[in-house]
Amino acid sequence: MATRTIEAPRHLRLVKREERTPAEVAARHSRMVLVLIGATAALTALGLVMVLSASSVSSFAQYGSSFLFFKRQAIYAAVGGVAMVTTSRMRYAIWQRLALPLVAISVALLLLVLRPGAGTVAGGSARWIALGPITIQPSELAKLAVIAFAATILTRKQERIHEPMHLLVPLLPVAGVVCALIMAQPDMGTTLLIAASMMVLVFLAGARMRHLVVGTMAGAGIGAYLIMHAGYRKERWLSFLHPLADRTSAGYQLVQSLIALGSGGWFGVGLGMSRQKWMYVPNAHTDFIFAILGEELGLIGELVVLGLFAMLLYAGIRVAVRAPDRFGRLLSGGIVAWIGLQTLVNLGGVTGLLPITGVPLPLVSFGGSSLVVTLAGIGILVSIGRAGAVPAAVRGSTAGDRRSGPKPRSTKPTTPKKKKVAPPRSKQPARPARTRQRSTKSGAPVWGSARRARGAGR
């Protein structure tokens, strides 16, 4: 029996982007959307577990129940899941119309927070509005509102983005008002996040590099002034540089966080077995939840969390690159910048690489407003990703069908049209019919072969 040999290819090569079919590109992009959803779900579930573990001691000491913060976070996660599904089902273009109302609502809530008796003061800052057992933090909504507003303005001014006045107005006044109201709480961490996210959006929009450098230097100067002219901010900055110099006062929080991270080793002391959460690490279930996570799950658990955040941010960047239009790219880029910068600032503060600013770890730390708004922002990313997964030809034909499709029939009663009756023609005398006068001797007409035979006989 003869055997058939199949020759193997001599070498493998990567398929170039232009060699892929639109269906293959759309399939790859759909997988990025699934990665985005999967990483978000994993981080949210892990956050619920860590909130239960990190808050059990302080919750029992204050309220007599170890599950109070966990139950609240579970409710916030459910509400955030509904918000994520809702925003993912909406067309992302609607945020161009919702941007200005969102900014107006955010400014109104930020003003309400500063009103004595309306805002709830905790830790020296008035950041929350209490509605019974629920607290709302307007600065979290302001992050999404400013990003949507900036993406809308930069999209409409894409032809004049290189002109300084068109670049500054109205972005600078709106962002300045929002940041000033947040600084009045005071909350410098959120202010820096909003300002940095705006700079990233301006960079993505294609502004000139000299404008970006000038804006960055001006922002750094304002930040340095605010740090050095407030006693507690200056103390935090100096404790970040030398935490062991004042380990019992200004550097206490950072030192205890480093002890928790170092106690975990490779595999941690075990879930729920943290020692630092017994009133050693302040805000163990909010700003410093990553320190408790590192102590209980070790370096392996920390790397898993960092990997999940890397997957989330990478999928978000791929969604932004593949967005169908300029507004989609800017909006998704701004949301990714917001989540990425907030993650970087929180982890930097917990590990001592950056000053402590008091911003939570997205999707993991306890906080209802932060969790709900972050999940809503990720839902917008999913919406943009779903739109980008559709091939361009299909999008064009679908839009064309919508524009040129049959119009719906009118429901108004129609009256039957009267038939036009042609006017009667004037009677004319009939013309006499022409007859041939050819005949034989007998009087019968001659046609065809008989006629030819008669002619031949003549």
pLDDT of residue 406: 46
Decide if 424 is inside a domain.
Answer: no
**Domains held by the chain: number:** 1
* Helix, coil or strand: residue 130: strand
Q: Are 288 and 356 spatial neighbours (Cβ–Cβ below 8 Å)?
A: no
**Alpha-carbon distance 140 to 137, whole Å?**
6
**DSSP E strand boundaries for 32-124:** 119-122
**C-alpha to C-alpha distance for 47 and 81, rounded to whole angstroms:** 14
Residue 318: CA atoms inside 13 Å, Cβ hemisphere, count?
A: 22
pLDDT of residue 125: 74
272 within domain boundaries: yes
The answer to whether residue 139 is domain-embedded is yes
- Residue 343, pLDDT score: 96
Sign of the C-alpha dihedral, residues 24, 27, 32, 38?
Answer: negative
User: 134 - beta bridge partners?
Assistant: 131
Residues in the chain: 458
Return the number of other C-beta atoms located less than 10 Å from residue 347's C-beta: 17
Q: Does a structural domain hold residue 432?
A: no
pTM: 0.81
Q: Is residue 427 part of a domain?
A: no
Q: What is the largest CA-CA distance in the chain?
A: 149
What is the rounded distance in angstroms from the CA atom of residue 22 to the CA atom of residue 28?
Answer: 10
Cα–Cα distance measured from residue 41 to residue 137, given in angstroms and rounded to the nearest whole number:
23
In a domain, 209, yes or no: yes
The strand pairing partners of 130, in sequence order, are 135
Q: Is residue 329 part of a domain?
A: yes
Instruction: State which residues form the domain around 281.
Output: 22-397
Amino acid 236: pLDDT: 78
126 neighbors 119 (Cβ within 8 angstroms)? yes
Tens of pLDDT, residue by residue, the chain (458 residues): 556 555 555 565 666 666 667 776 677 778 899 999 999 999 999 999 999 999 999 999 988 899 999 999 999 999 999 999 999 999 999 999 999 999 999 999 999 998 877 777 776 677 888 887 788 899 999 999 999 999 999 999 988 888 888 888 899 999 999 999 999 888 888 999 999 999 999 999 999 999 999 999 999 999 888 888 877 788 878 777 888 877 888 788 899 999 999 999 999 999 999 999 998 998 899 999 999 999 999 999 999 999 999 999 999 999 999 999 999 999 999 999 999 999 999 999 999 898 888 899 999 999 999 999 999 999 999 999 998 877 655 555 444 444 434 445 444 555 555 555 555 555 555 555 554 544 444 444 445 555 555 555 55
d(CA 219, CA 192): 9
Q: Tokens in use for 129?
A: 């509005």
DSSP β-bridge partners for residue 131: 134
Q: What does the pLDDT read at residue 285?
A: 92
Q: Does a cis peptide bond (omega within 30 degrees of 0) precede residue 186? A: yes
Residue 330 belongs to a domain: yes
DSSP secondary structure letters along 225-243: HHHHTSHHHHHHHHHHH-G
| 8 A C-beta contact, residue 92 and residue 377 | no
